Chain A
């Protein structure tokens, strides 16, 4: 028997029916209404012809900026670049009318046109974005001005604008990542604090390798870093100014105590961290400017890895108070924690999304490690990765992408930084100059 579903899916039937003059179509009473519920999961094709150099001094920068913009967009997995060799039109002037038909013919949905000018040692970068099939600009043209050495940031700024205008959410290209650079054999590993652009460029070392350093975290404004260092002989939380690379201990601690796993509050005015005293570990809060610390948890178990909700009202952390390591949420000022991780296995290193909608975590189950996300009440858990050792997620400022550490197995096992979309797609290794671990993503710099 013919079903309604099979009939309406039959293009052949429509062709036959429409070829007859006696089709019993109902009288036209209004528009044809239809509902589309299945789109395609495919990167959006874009074209970015090499930016025009307004003068000779801008030629190299124009090529470099175009390359970085394209790499930023391609790297998201949401965009597919149409190679220049396939272009029909060539853009010879920034303000020239767009030959939409030529770009449609190669199926470009978005077109990025730009020019670069050098003036007095500074670069001026202008760009425009077009929706090819709508044949109209997507937003206003913009220009960025900066020192010549800042060309990468200007490229990232253009890519952020393009990303925002097409996806509707903030970009994450003009950002930095602080991480632990590692050297040497596994049993004698040297670790240094380092900072780089989100794409692995412009690496700068912030500490030498004389002291073990762990768990760096950016402040909400990106100008300070909080981390754990053994430079005094015991793990202790330090605060560093990124611009001057100066550091100081966050606060005085008693001999034998250990402070670690720090993170800023959303307003940047305080830091929460774990303190191990007399064999017990709880979470404390202290103002960056000093003063007495406040104890937020009080349990005969290990409470660590605190992270705040973006509005600062709640805190998520890990605890083994029920035996296994699990994730709990409680009011920011302290109170009764509610366990939100409910699956099998052990959960740790929870981090609240900047958008407030998800909590990312590390999960260990059946000898495998995973990076996953769950709603803030623990529902909708999804595992995004699986490997010998994946841990320590950090969010991109738009809450769409995560970076984390992946370490390979064996005596020669080495850590590296990876990124993954919260859909679980687009897993990529981040380019670093050597072994790298424990990334922390900065906020947008502009």
Chain B
């Protein structure tokens, strides 16, 4: 029964949906992994304490993950930043993003181990512009 449900879900994911001018809809497992990880990291990204200019700074970090879903803290690095890009703002925005990744990991992010090659390396962009005062 579960297998039949799973197969149906998979078919739903991989079957192009009919559409008009907007083209086809295709959702890949990478899309789902992306959504899942976003859901799990976002609750730990505390933007309240950041200065307005740090909130306006968009940072992208890279992190390597263990098969158990643990971010390797020593691999977290800042890839790029955009926005006002004052060094202090970038440092604060990066620190908050880094804390979010590490804090929400808990005993490891709940991601499918068989897909680990797809999430072993992750790049996360943190854009708090929706929160800018």
A134:B47 contact, CB within 8 angstroms? no
Task: Give the residues in chain A near B78, CB-CB below 8 Å.
Answer: none
Question: Which 6 pairs from chain A and chain B are nearest by CB?
Answer: A168-B92, A18-B112, A31-B121, A39-B45, A39-B47, A169-B51
> Which interface residue of B2, B29, B119 has the most chain A CB atoms within 10 A?
B29
Q: How many chain A residues touch B (Cβ–Cβ < 8 Å)?
A: 59
Task: Give the residues in chain B near A8, CB-CB below 8 Å.
Answer: 27, 31-32, 34-35
Counting CB contacts under 8 A, is A88 at the interface? Answer: no
- The 8 Å CB contact of A168, one of B12, B45, B51, B123, is B51
B125:A36 contact, CB within 8 angstroms? yes
Encoded as 1 (CB less than 8 Å from any B CB) or 0, chain A from 339 to 362 comes to 000000000000000000100000
A190 vs B53: C-alpha distance when bound (angstroms)? 43
- The 8 Å CB contact of B9, one of A9, A16, A79, is A16
A36 vs B43: C-alpha distance when bound (angstroms)? 10
Task: Give the residues in chain B near A138, CB-CB below 8 Å.
Answer: 95
Given contacts A28-B117, A40-B46, 17 further A-B contacts (CB under 8 A): A4-B31, A14-B29, A14-B33, A15-B112, A23-B115, A25-B29, A25-B115, A30-B121, A31-B62, A36-B38, A36-B125, A36-B126, A39-B46, A39-B128, A134-B73, A138-B95, A167-B92
Encoded as 1 (CB less than 8 Å from any B CB) or 0, chain A from 249 to 287 comes to 000000000000000000000000000000000000000
Task: Give the residues in chain A near B118, CB-CB below 8 Å.
Answer: 25, 28, 32
B127:A35 contact, CB within 8 angstroms? yes
Counting CB contacts under 8 A, is B21 at the interface? Answer: no
Task: Give the residues in chain B near A14, CB-CB below 8 Å.
Answer: 29, 32-33, 35-36, 112
> Which interface residue of A4, A25, A31, A44 has the most chain B CB atoms within 10 A?
A31
Counting CB contacts under 8 A, is A188 at the interface? Answer: no
A41 vs B49: C-alpha distance when bound (angstroms)? 8
B29:A36 contact, CB within 8 angstroms? no
Counting CB contacts under 8 A, is A19 at the interface? Answer: yes
Task: Give the residues in chain A near B47, CB-CB below 8 Å.
Answer: 39-41
Counting CB contacts under 8 A, is A248 at the interface? Answer: no
A135:B73 contact, CB within 8 angstroms? yes
A131 vs B51: C-alpha distance when bound (angstroms)? 18
Main SS of chain A's interface residues?
A: loop
Chain B interface residues (CB < 8 Å from chain A): 2-3, 5-7, 9-10, 12-14, 17-18, 25, 27-39, 41-54, 62, 73, 88-89, 91-92, 95, 98-100, 102-103, 112, 114-115, 117-119, 121-131, 133
A110 vs B119: C-alpha distance when bound (angstroms)? 29
Interchain residue pairs with CB less than 8 A apart (11) = A7-B12, A13-B13, A24-B28, A24-B29, A33-B124, A36-B127, A39-B42, A40-B44, A133-B102, A134-B98, A167-B51
Counting CB contacts under 8 A, is A210 at the interface? Answer: no
Counting CB contacts under 8 A, is A121 at the interface? Answer: no
Which residue of A is nearest B114, CB measured? A18
Interface residues of A in 34-68 (CB under 8 A from B): 34-44
A177 vs B12: C-alpha distance when bound (angstroms)? 64
- The 8 Å CB contact of A16, one of B5, B46, B73, B99, is B5
Task: Give the residues in chain B near A30, CB-CB below 8 Å.
Answer: 121
Counting CB contacts under 8 A, is A423 at the interface? Answer: yes
Task: Give the residues in chain A near B48, CB-CB below 8 Å.
Answer: 40-44, 78
Known: A25-B118, A40-B44. A131 touches B49 (CB 8 A): no
Task: Give the residues in chain B near A79, CB-CB below 8 Å.
Answer: 49
A61 vs B112: C-alpha distance when bound (angstroms)? 53
Encoded as 1 (CB less than 8 Å from any B CB) or 0, chain A from 1 to 22 comes to 1111001111111111111111
Known: A2-B17, A44-B49. A37 touches B130 (CB 8 A): yes
A157 vs B116: C-alpha distance when bound (angstroms)? 47
A134:B99 contact, CB within 8 angstroms? yes
Q: Nearest-CB distance from B10 to chain A (Å)?
A: 5
Task: Give the residues in chain B near A24, CB-CB below 8 Å.
Answer: 10, 14, 28-29
A2 vs B14: C-alpha distance when bound (angstroms)? 12
A19 vs B125: C-alpha distance when bound (angstroms)? 28
Q: Nearest-CB distance from B11 to chain A (Å)?
A: 10
- The 8 Å CB contact of B43, one of A3, A25, A40, A78, is A40
B95:A25 contact, CB within 8 angstroms? no
Which residue of B is nearest A424, CB measured? B133
Task: Give the residues in chain B near A19, CB-CB below 8 Å.
Answer: 2, 6, 112
B37:A34 contact, CB within 8 angstroms? yes
Task: Give the residues in chain B near A37, CB-CB below 8 Å.
Answer: 127-130
Task: Give the residues in chain B near A166, CB-CB below 8 Å.
Answer: 49, 92, 95
B28:A26 contact, CB within 8 angstroms? yes
Known: A31-B122, A40-B46. A422 touches B133 (CB 8 A): yes
B6:A7 contact, CB within 8 angstroms? no
